[in-house]
Chains A and B, each alone.
Chain A
């Protein structure tokens, strides 16, 4: 995303920025930036009907700049489209004040954003990240098992499931493995066809930019290897040049299951991590792993859940020397302004006063989804604090003998 101008008051945080989204992923950033009540100014198209005494005579589409106060946003992850629903905030000849209008923000079309509540530190951080022009890592990944495959694209801030494939493959049966073999062949060819359609190797987008995104194949067992073999065979058989060119950039990895959440353990495996070492995703995954390891040790240095983490911060546990606050950006999208303020305050406090590290996880990544399970917020503390959850202590668990209830 390009920052065209920024007029933000340092002290109060009030002000407006002009932005130009350039990549589909920018839509995701914008979705995270825009809050309820913010003012968005962008190109709008409205159909205007001319009304004479004899009723409406003609209608025409008029494009003009329109300013709306946001009521809601609607983001479609798959297609990367963002609709901003709002009421007209600045009257002009075509649109009355207060009339409803839905702005479709588009790529390569600039818009202006004014924060109703001022630009807080989290919003500014997001803006910085969104306008970071460094080439970001992107890769395609296929997580597959016998009969099921998930094709997804992993970008800096998103994991987007492009297609889920299920082909019935019968299992091996006594005295006849033909149907199993046939089923697997059909599954591979379906998956490959779908993958090629999704990746669009010959199409404009990738070819024009002259880049081939790496492809990661992951599965439990040998399915990924067999699939790679299938790709190679197909590429030679059909002499598909783009596909042949892709083969060197294919990485085969091991995953624990064929489900998409297995991506988190693929990306934390050393071989893959070294290839992606500096992506946000890899860092987040590593942090989540560190967190769960500490949870297992159960020494009171890892806590999750809103109340527990807030208490830990109050007690100065998330500070200099290893304190990490992990928070999902889902919390900053809160409809409730107070709710958002609560988390921004917490982030500011940890970062500026306590001196701890703050990581904002993308809720679209698997690591973010794991965090979501923990209540969207978790913290690694610098020293153990016990009993942050104010439950009565453990009741006595008598070591009785007998049959277990399970």
Chain B
């Protein structure tokens, strides 16, 4: 018997069957050697029938292979043929494909195939048993062995050139945007309205939500409940975690990431922003609404979005209906926000302001139809979304995916992950490496926007159904990368940091896209010139807001962080800075 530990760990189906073998393994070992005449006859007949069934594949198959397969499947011709075909299917495609990723996927397949071959001798130990109990036991065993092979996660890679496929497919533009802003400024409601007006959410669901909302006396929350689904979010009337939703227009497929506005959930907001291409900032235009937001999370959200590298921003000046579409108020907000946004180094031409009303839906999908609002002739929110330029996708680089969620997808896949592909491509059958656990897994299936697909590229937020990995090895914030191009695990790193608040060496929380980890700022190495990057002062004792410095950040444990990745640093509930990982310290 081959050593079990190697692959039985990853194939849980083995457990049950092994027990069965172990029971009668010893007593019957002697009997095994004798191949009876019966067997020989069956083998001969079987071989002929398999040859017939194989047809065109027949040439590549030797007698010994057929014998082995037949033996393995107890002369079940159908199963043997499938097995042989599969094996051939995997071996035959030309191996001269240049991409290294393919070779790797191939080798995994070979491994699976050879594992199956290795497995074949195992049941041999039990075969004599069927001599004694010719019918019942044979069937049972045959069935269990058959299951064993059929259920094996043998994922076939189509070996696609994903970049070509992507270019051929002529897919619509893909845009992910994150909705940010202070708590209660109407982010979720605005998105609920957008989905409702685009008929993504049908009238019946909305009516149902409306009724439920009225029951607890919060009728105005009905639209927000499209996004806020947990009981806690509904009873408290605020968003807690990122809600994802999709819609498409003629040109673009959009993914909405609705971020929570409350300051306690900024970690979730950071995780959502890291998956987005640009932010939609929602501002409450009502009296005091805008001002309280400025004191609250509006600024912090903008700074986080900017430090994630986003260039464009749409500012939705919400709740215009409550101030009777006052132009002066809109202008005041636009002016103050423009100043702030340009300070945060958004270019003025990349900022779009839209007055709208999320609750009633004016200027969201359809233009405002209100006499007091005739001064505004610009775009609706939807038009503005369509117009945003999207950043270039890094398809050619190695795969990087930051895990946003780990969950049980459905019965067929015990473990699924989702997250945005930051660079590179992935296809079904690929073997991936999960860090920091350093465990490999096979991609069994990929879903995008709940539709199964064969591949996914940078910029998309796929759900990957995985096989051959234990759930303990994956958690939010992990990085998924190719086996041959892993991300290094880092304990301490030097970072170029833009300070939002005063920075002292202190314990902090470090965020890298969906990852959050305790750590500390160990040393302030140097203060840098904002524009040239030259050292202005060595070892400053404090870094003031707005200054750029090089600091050494130490993590509590080793985590995958790479040069050029963006990190956000928070201390005691405030975002104190954001930066770029420079090198391992």
Contacts from A to B (Cβ < 8 Å) = 166, 168, 170-175, 177, 179-181, 220-222, 226, 254, 256-257, 259-262, 264-265, 292, 295-296, 298, 303-305, 308, 366, 369-370, 373-375, 389, 391-392, 394-395, 397-398, 400-406
A374 near B530 with CB under 8 A, answer no
Interface residues of B in 387-418 (CB under 8 A from A): 404-408
- Which of chain B's residues have a CB closer than 8 A to the CB of A181? 230-231
Binary contact track B501-539/A, C-beta < 8 Å → 1, others 0: 010111101000000001011100000111111001111
Give the segment of B45-53, B55-63, B242-250, B319-327 that binds chain A.
B242-250
Q: A172-B241, A181-B230 are in contact. List 11 more A-B contacts (CB 8 A).
A: A172-B229, A177-B231, A221-B240, A257-B267, A257-B518, A374-B504, A374-B506, A389-B539, A400-B531, A401-B531, A404-B531
- What are the interface flags for B228-242 relative to A under an 8 Å C-beta threshold, 1 for contact and 0 otherwise? 011111001000111
In the assembly, what is the distance between CA of A203 and CA of B508, in Å?
37
Interfacial chain B residues near A175, Cβ < 8 Å: 229
Q: Is the CB of A394 within 8 A of B544?
A: no
Given contacts A257-B267, A374-B504, contact A220 B573 (CB under 8 A): yes
B265 within 8 A of A: yes
**Are the C-beta atoms of A373 and B230 separated by less than 8 Å?**
no
Option from B264, B521, B538, B573 in Cβ contact (under 8 Å) with A391: B538
Which partner residue on chain A sits nearest B404 by CB separation? Answer: A171
Q: Are B408 and A179 in contact (CB under 8 A)?
A: yes
Which A residues are CB-close (under 8 A) to B236?
A: 222
Q: What CA separation (Å) do A178 and B471 show in the bound complex?
A: 18
Residues of B contacting A171 in the complex (Cβ-Cβ under 8 angstroms):
241-242, 404-405, 407, 476
Cα A402 to Cα B533 with chains together (Å): 12
A interface: dominant SS: loop
Q: Are B471 and A405 in contact (CB under 8 A)?
A: no
Partner of A397, one of B406, B509, B536, B572: B536
Asked whether, in the complex, the Cβ of B507 is within 8 Å of the Cβ of A406, the reply is: no
Let me know if B367 is at the binding interface, CB within 8 A. Answer: no
Given A170-B408, A220-B265, A370-B507, A406:B307 Cβ within 8 A: yes
Q: Is the CB of B407 within 8 A of A256?
A: no
Name the residue of chain B whose CB is nearest to the CB of A259.
B518
Report the Cα distance A261→B508, complex, angstroms: 8
Grouping DSSP codes into helix (H, G, I), strand (E, B) and loop, the B interface class, with mixed when no group exceeds half, is mixed
CB distance from A338 to the nearest CB of B (A): 25
**Total interface residues on B, using CB and 8 Å?**
60
B548 CB contacts on chain A under 8 angstroms: 404-406
The reply to whether A406 and B265 contact each other, CB–CB distance below 8 Å, is no
For residue B203, CB closer than 8 A to chain A, the reply is no
Instruction: Evaluate contact between A177 and B229: CB separation under 8 angstroms.
Output: yes
Cβ contact within 8 Å between B262 and A221? yes
- Report how far A366 CA is from B507 CA in the complex, Å: 9
Contacts of A375 in B (CB 8 A): 505
- Chain B nearest CB from A220 CB (Å) reads 4
Whole-angstrom distance between the alpha carbons of A260 and B556 in the complex? 12
Q: Which residues does chain B contribute within 8 Å of A174, judged by CB atoms?
A: 229, 243-245
How far, in angstroms, from A369 to B571 measured CA to CA in the complex?
A: 14
Bound-state Cα–Cα, A402 to B532, Å: 9
Residues on B with beta carbons closer than 8 Å to the beta carbon of A403: 345, 531
List chain A residues, Cβ under 8 A from B574.
256
The answer, among B230, B264, B407, B578, for a CB contact under 8 Å with A406, is B578
- Chain B residues contacting A366 (CB-CB under 8 Å) are 507
Contact present for A406 and B531 (CB under 8 Å): no
| Residues 459-495 of chain B, each 1 if its beta carbon lies under 8 Å from chain A, else 0 | 0000000000001000110000000000000000000
Q: Is the CB of B522 within 8 A of A373?
A: yes
Q: Is B456 an interface residue (CB 8 A)?
A: no
Q: Which residues of A contact B476 (CB under 8 A)?
A: 171
Does B585 reach chain A (CB closer than 8 Å)?
A: no
Q: Is the CB of A260 within 8 A of B406?
A: no
Contact B498 A303 (CB under 8 A): no
Contact present for A394 and B536 (CB under 8 Å): yes
